[in-house]
Amino acid sequence: MPHNLTGNFLATAKGFLGPEIVDNRLNPVLLATATSGYRIQSHLLHIPDRFGFFLPGPPRLQVYQGAFFAFVVTGTCFSIVLGGFALLLMKLSGRPISPWLVVAMITLTVVTVVSIWALACFDRHRAPDYDWGDWKRRKE
């Protein structure tokens, strides 16, 4: 059971951090991420599409937004882990940890996420007439 659970987690993480196109098809993990994200965003949280991270659009757009969301989540987690590691090193070296340093780290992470969200809201890929072109590598 634990081996199967670990294998499933690793396969999902690989798909979550993988490319948008896998084996000449859209990445199913990113597509599922965007589809679920849109459902949560619109039906559960009632966030208007204009201000939401995800849009109901062509599958290519949804995979793009799923990949962008993976980038944001990974970057945020990396920032938090790096800040925690820096605080741990300060604690182990005997230096006092100022509460202002913790507040500054949290503020920096929040400002970064909000800035990326604002950029995502004005992304050119969200335009209804955006041409995705041919994403397939080979014709069948």
The answer to whether position 135 is within a domain reads no
Report d(CA 109, CA 83) in Å as an integer.
10
User: What's the one-letter identity of residue 30?
Assistant: L
Residue 91: inside a domain = yes
* In a domain? residue 18: yes
Number of separate domains in the chain: 1
Domain membership flag for residue 82: yes
Q: Render pLDDT for 10-56 as a digit per residue (tens, 0 to 9).
A: 777 777 777 788 777 888 888 999 999 999 999 999 999 889 889 98
Establish if 76 belongs to a structural domain.
Answer: yes
Residue 41 is classified by DSSP as I
Q: Global pTM? A: 0.78
132 lies in a domain? no
